[in-house]
């Protein structure tokens, strides 16, 4: 496989459930990102990992918990979510988190619905 792969593509969960989103990149990149995309709103950066170290946490509620076991895999653990958390969650990777052109390669996203 090539590029950035996200699973599951669709997820419906209740507010008391625990679930995880998975992201895998096969590009040899060293930085990985979680973004939230809501309709008609700008992309919201949630977390950044650079060389497996978390370098960014944009005041994300603790019900979202990221995990980066290696530079190819990124998880987003979900617990006691709210209906307003329903959105498309996009994973992205880039060569590194530095100052070059740093083009992002995105996955197709996980569409989350919280009931």
Partner 1 sequence: GQNIDQPTEMTATEGAIVQINCTYQTSGFNGLFWYQQHAGEAPTFLSYNVLDGLEEKGRFSSFLSRSKGYSYLLLKELQMKDSASYLCAVRDSNYQLIWGAGTKLIIKP
Among 8, 51, 98, 113, binds partner 1 (CB under 8 A): 98
Output phi, psi for 81, to 5 deg: -75, 165
Residue whose CB is less far from partner 1, 75 or 106: 106
The greatest distance separating any two alpha carbons of the chain, rounded to the nearest whole angstrom, comes to 42
Q: Check: CB of residue 64 under 8 Å from CB of residue 57.
A: no
Integer angstrom CA distances of residue 22 from 16, 31, 61, 108: 20, 15, 19, 12
Among 12, 15, 27, 108, binds partner 1 (CB under 8 A): 108
Residue whose CB is less far from partner 1, 16 or 101: 101
Interface with partner 1, residue 109, by CB under 8 A: yes
CB of 103: closest distance to partner 1 in angstroms? 5
Q: Check: CB of residue 3 under 8 Å from CB of residue 91.
A: no
CB of 6: closest distance to partner 1 in angstroms? 9
Interface residues toward partner 1, by CB under 8 A = 4, 40-43, 45, 90, 97-99, 101-109
């Amino acid at each position: 496989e090539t590029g950035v792969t996200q699973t599951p593509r669709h997820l419906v969960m209740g507010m008391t459930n625990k679930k995880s989103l998975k992201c895998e990149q096969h590009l040899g990149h060293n930085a990985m990102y979680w973004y939230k995309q809501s309709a008609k709103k700008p992309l919201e950066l949630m977390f950044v990992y650079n060389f497996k170290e978390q370098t960014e946490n944009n005041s994300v509620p603790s019900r979202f918990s990221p995990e980066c076991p290696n530079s190819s895999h990124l998880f987003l653990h979900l617990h006691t979510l709210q209906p307003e958390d329903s959105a498309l969650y996009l994973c992205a990777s880039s060569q590194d988190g530095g100052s070059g052109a740093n083009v992002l390669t995105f996955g197709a996203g996980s569409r989350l619905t919280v009931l």
